[in-house]
Chain A
Amino acid sequence: MKFVKRLKLVAALVPALALGAEAVAQGSVSLLNVSYDPTREFYREYNEAFAKHWKGTAGQDVTVRQSHGGSGSQARAVIDGLDADVVTLALAYDVDALRKNADLIPEDWQSRLESNSSPYTSTIVLLVRKGNPKNIQDWDDLIRDDVEVITPNPKTSGGARWNYLAAWGYALKQYGGDEQKAYDFVSKLFANVPVLDPGARGATNTFVQRRLGDVFIAWENEAFLSVEQLGKGEYEIVVPSVSILAEPPVTVVDKNVDRKGTRAVAEGYLDYLYSDEAQRLAGKHYYRPSNPAIAAEFADKFPDVELFGIDEVFGGWNKAQEIHFNDGGHFDAILEAIAKR
């Protein structure tokens, strides 16, 4: 009965494999950093740097485990019990969900660390094809009749909400705070969008693989990443005159670290993000360092741009969400008007 013997062999292998998977390093501490998609390369390098730093100062071996996914779904996973010691997500709105839905962090979480708990920042830029054939220099060019714009749908994509708000903020500045004119400007911009993909990755594909559109609105760090990965020399990054300050915040997940007894190392992990070494790593991986002195070292990579914060122009995320993106908000009205045309 060869067959039976084979079955027995499989049965014998199972516990052996189980042991292999469960083998965990002992006598050291481990952290779980739940992050979003494009931070992988940055945290891979940072985790090594931090491990060295922590060994030197606290004398403890630390292994940092990483989880990456869409920012919103990562927050959801932590709420449902993913055992994160720290979260490093794309939006304050997603981090705030940990407080609203599960009481995992205190209300004042964002004021616990410098720069709104955002050790690195980014902004919204315009990605154009090689040689910039349509001569796109600023937001104004996106409402020209001969320009097609690619951006994901702000209803479904967190990243695309920044695109929308960046354009809105620019128009407000341009027209002296006239909300109606800003509304018209953003309407014209979205009328130039041939396909509204649900997510950032789909929109990237539309622009890069299907070669649709003349300009792609993107986060600066993701624009750099996609230029790096999808073809150097085929795309150019245009930094507009005014844009929004995108702050991907970080926080310790209080409930988890207190239960696991990892608060000291988790706080050390986030504090070290503000060190010169970490700030340089952030710059290397296309995020703007929050420390102005280190940011100056990367001046040739990140052109000067007038940045406005979401709090000063839109009164914070929750308010922006309510006015612009909730059902019946400005964005719905804009889409409806375009559909009628």
Chain B
Amino acid sequence: MTTQTLGNVANPALAARWRRATSEPDWLRWTLIGISLSFLALFLILPLLVVLYGAFEQGLAVWTAAITEPDALAAIRLSLFVVAIVVPINVVFGVAAAWAIAKFEFRGKSILITLIDMPFAISPVVVGLIFVILFGTQGWLGPWLAAHDLRIIFAVPGIVIVIAFGTMPFIARELIPLMQQQGKEEEEASLTLGAGGWKTFWYVTLPNIKWGLIYGIILCNARALGEFGAVAVVSGRIRGETNTMPLHIEVLYNEYMFTAAFAVSSLLMGLALVTVAIKSVVEWQTERSRRSADTP
């Protein structure tokens, strides 16, 4: 298009000057592209390749053995189990919080928004320590828990709690701007037409926020699988019981089992790549549904 317009200018010398004025010289363009591509290659592609190389260096059989070993399977199972609890909890919390913030006016709203962001601001290790101080035998609730033979930290519940805490903001953060932008007219219309609260939620609100919600779930999911710092503090690292995938990788690495560590890493990386793929599809869907909403 541009060349055509420029070509239409009668004076070729003038056209060339226009082109120079509106675009960078070739050398600058290629340098910039080169810099960003090599940056990507160095910090993104290369590490990914290193993981893959490390994982498959000794052949497919070794890779398969490393990820089907009982401890690795237990770690995978635990990670998926934690995700299966944490994500639904955060869906409920995220939708409720976003709903309250976007559709209602109340005192302390800004405090609630700030609180939701807290887990992003606190270092994961500190999150872990908070729960050790709370539930550890030397901690506040520890003696009571011990007396009732309840185990929270150094057991699965502790892992679930710290991961739920760390991933809490993802869904709410995704939904708040979306719901605020959509306003409450549609819900009000639905209510005045006689639909109940639940009906309005299922048939009006939820379809509107569907893609944002899915996007939030994906992010929450990715972070829940990858969380390390907080889990390392509260896990107790019992093999086959309280080692999540990232912890299992660290243990393998510390025992000089580099190939196995890379094999499990490649699995986690594979999950991340799938997540990114789904995320792109969702983004594309969101874009499409927005466009179809814009055109009447």
Name A's B-contacting residues (CB within 8 A).
1, 3-4, 7, 10-11, 13-14, 17-18, 20-21, 32, 34, 37-38, 40-41, 65-70, 74, 77, 79-83, 101-102, 201, 204, 225-226, 228-230
Contacts and interface: CB of A to CB of B under 8 A. Distances in A.
B100 to A, nearest CB: 20
Contact of B237 (A21, A68, A80): A68
14 contacts: A4-B202, A11-B88, A14-B84, A20-B81, A37-B251, A38-B256, A41-B255, A65-B238, A65-B240, A67-B237, A77-B154, A81-B135, A81-B154, A230-B256
Given A4-B206, A11-B88, A21-B81, A80 B238 contact: no
Given A67-B236, A68-B251, A102-B137, A13 B84 contact: yes
Interface string B114-156: 0000000000000000001001111100100010000101101
Interface of B: 77-78, 80-81, 84-85, 87-88, 91, 132, 135-139, 142, 146, 151, 153-154, 156, 202, 206, 210, 236-242, 251, 253-258
The 4 A-B pairs at the shortest CB distance, nearest first, are namely A81-B137, A80-B136, A229-B256, A82-B154
Contacts of A3: 206, 210
A156 to B, nearest CB: 15
Contacts of A82: 154, 236
Given A17-B84, A21-B77, A226-B256, A68 B239 contact: yes
A114 to B, nearest CB: 28
Given A10-B84, A81-B146, A229-B258, A21 B154 contact: no
Contacts of B135: 81
Nearest to A84: B236
Contacts of B240: 65
A65 B153 contact: no
A33 B135 CA distance: 22
A41 B253 CA distance: 14
Nearest to A255: B137
B238 A67 contact: yes
Contacts of B77: 20-21
Q: Tell which of A21, A38, A102 has the most Cβ of chain B within 10 Å.
A: A21
B191 to A, nearest CB: 20
A20 B87 CA distance: 19
Contacts of B85: 14, 18
A102 B138 contact: yes
A83 B151 contact: yes
B236 A21 contact: no
A1 B202 contact: yes
A196 to B, nearest CB: 19
Q: Tell which of B80, B136, B255 has the most Cβ of chain A within 10 Å.
A: B255
A52 B22 CA distance: 81
Contact of B138 (A7, A18, A79, A228): A79
B78 A21 contact: yes
A51 to B, nearest CB: 15
Contacts of B137: 79-81, 102
A65 B70 CA distance: 13
A193 B81 CA distance: 46
A65 B156 contact: no
